[in-house]
Structure formats: C-alpha cells, structure tokens
Amino acid sequence: MQFDTPYYLIDEQRLSKNLKKIQWLKENAGVKSVLALKCFSTWPVFELMSQYMDGTTSSSLYEARLGYEEFGKEVHAYSVAFSKDEITELKQYADKIIFNSISQLKTFYSKINHLDIGLRLNPQVSYSDYDLADPARKHSRLGVTNYSSVLDIANLINGVMFHYNCENANFNNFSTLLDAISDTYSDLLFQLNWVSLGGGIYFTLDDYPLEKFSQKLKAFGEYFNIQVYLEPGEAVITNSVSLVTSVLDIVHNELDIAIVDSSIEAHMLDLLTYRESAVMKAPSFKKYYYMIAGKSCLAADIFGQFHFNSPLKVGDKIHIIDAGGYTMVKMNWFNGLRMPSIVIKRLNGDYEQVKNFDYHDFKQNLGCAAFLQ
C-alpha cells in the first residue's frame, strides 16, 4: 500500500519482539515495566503494548491523562514541578505521584496522601554520553541529593524513583551503578514498597545479556523485599519504527546531496540536539555515496552520509530506521513543513494510516479556532 511521504511507519511485529522481552523479564524477575510517554506517546498502538506492560509513566499532566485514558493499568505521574491546579486534576488519573523535591512533597501531601507517593532521588552517579542529558550533571535539578533529609520524611513516601541511565547498553555498567545505589540507600529501601530504576537501559537489544539483567533485578528486589519498576522508552520501540521519505532533488557540492521531503529540525530533532547521524540499513556493497539532507532552510539540516547499492534518483524512497524514540513527541511546524503522517503495520500485515496532518493543523497550532472560520 502506498502512502504520501513523509510518514512514520510503526511495525507491530517488530514492536512485539521487544514487548515479549519485557514480559519475559516480568515473569522471570518480577519486575514491572511502565512505558515512558516522554519518549513515545503514539497511542494507536497502546492496545498492543498494554498486553505486555503494566502501565505508563509521565512527565506532565497531559501525559498522565493520556496514559489513563488510552493505556489504562497503572499511571505513574512525575514532574520536575507541579502546579496546584495540576495536582488537583492529577488525582483523577494517577495511581502514583512522584515528586521531584521534598518541598513539593510537603506542599501537596495532604491533598494526595490517599495515593501512592514517591520521591525522585538523585544518586549523583549516572551513565550518559551527553552532558545535556545527564541527570547527575553538575547543579542538576533532577531529584533530591540530600540523603539525610530523605530519611527524615521516609514515613511520608511509599517508594522512590532513580533515573540515572541514558542510552546505557552496557550491563556491567548498569550492575555497578545498581550496586552503588544498593549500598548508599539500603536503610531507606528496606522501608519502602516500591522503587523505580527509571529508563535509559537498552535491555531489548539483541546482544544484551537479558538473563544476567533478570538475575540482577530479581536479587535486588528480593533482598529489599520491594517491587521493582522499570520505565523503558526507547527500549520498547527500538528497531520498530522508520521514517519514510522521498528524494525531491539531487545537488552537488563536492559530493552528491539528496534532498528529501523531511527535516531533522522538524521531524527528528534529537539528531540535531545531540549532533548524531540518522541510521539506515547497510547496503550489500558500498559504491554510491550521498549526503541525505532535509528540505528546511536550516543549513545543518542533514540526516547523514550513506552508501547505496545504486544511484539515487528523484522519487526514490529512503527509509530512516530506528526512528521512533523522541521523534513523534517532538515533531514541530518549523518552516511550515507538513508533519509526517503516522502509519501502522498491524500484526496481521495490514497497513493503517492513523494520523495525517494538513494546512489546517498548521494554522490552528498558531491561533485559536475562532480565527479559522
């Protein structure tokens, strides 16, 4: 079936491969997993995901409401800071509310003490290749660092959340960091009902030692007699989403440059933020070489440089693979470029376009509905 490009293509068969690993981890380690909506919020595939996962975790009121309405099951609500109005509404959706600071915990405690209450802790150790995304970076505002102050209010909380990994595919590194947390926070962990170890752990990769990971998490949970949660985002959708684009033009400036009907600024913003290249399948032989560039006016709107089996021509389709994480949740209207539609390849092989954007979406994004008449 043909769709106008650009579009994100979600493959449910590939998605289910990751989900089955998550289910296996629950069965073997007793770990629960909640989807990190900050990474992926495309709710037309939530029906499939909810068969394998235990709920969602959010970074805002709107994400929490989406998880409640479309995913069901557990709703974990976290934010760097809540407003009074947000807390009032969150009570309708959340099972667990996780505060970023002791001051906010104390401010809102009387309003939500019928719910599970958590506190984010900053262990001041982390894994991240990027200072921009390092939750334990210098002067980090993410979580409480003063352990003695946490012990003073331990009677007010049911659990804690540590989010200290970012794109961590190294099990030994994860294991060392978990040991450090076990040693530092043992007095507190013995008093709690649950602990979230956050996301950023690439445990669904093909070469990840899932058995060792399972054993480590099971031992941790049993030692402290505590329910362990993970908050996977990219680990859930890795290798299951591609961005399909078309070549619009080919120009030459020392090398051949193929311009496609998409943009990293608008459709894959993390590539620009972290100065990374997009990913494509490696060709069977490396003969034809092109820079793939977006159509926005941004000079650095470049997906990367790649080899192809044959020369590119206008109209050719180019598939950017592993394009699900932090893309659809960040896409924007820069340059007024049409956002990619969203297409799902269902488990039965059928294709379904679940979202298409047009001019009216662009216009409404910049003004209220009353002015659109």
Which pLDDT tens digit goes with each residue over 12-54? 999 999 999 999 999 999 999 999 999 999 999 999 999 999 9
Nearest to 61 by CA among 75, 43, 73: 75
Distance CA 265, CA 288 (A): 26
56-98 pLDDT, tens per residue? 999 999 999 999 999 999 999 999 999 999 999 999 999 999 9
Confidence of residue 116 (pLDDT cuts 50, 70, 90): very high
Query: Which residues of the chain form CATH 2.40.37.10?
Result: 240-365
| Structure-token match 């996962």, residue found | 53
Query: Looking at residue 144, what DSSP letter applies?
Result: B
Confidence of residue 268 (pLDDT cuts 50, 70, 90): very high
Residue 329 pLDDT > 60: yes
Query: Which residues of the chain form CATH 3.20.20.10?
Result: 31-237
Distance CA 266, CA 263 (A): 5
Q: What is the pLDDT of residue 130?
A: 87
Rounded to an integer, the average pLDDT of 345-360 is 97
139-174 pLDDT, tens per residue? 999 999 999 999 999 999 999 999 999 989 999 999
Q: How far is CA 299 from CA 263, 305, 335, in A?
A: 11, 15, 13
pTM: 0.95
Nearest to 197 by CA among 160, 222, 155: 160
- Looking at the domain that runs over 240-365, which CATH code has it been given? 2.40.37.10
**CATH 3.20.20.10 given to domain 31-237:** yes
| Neighbouring-strand partners of residue 252 | 256
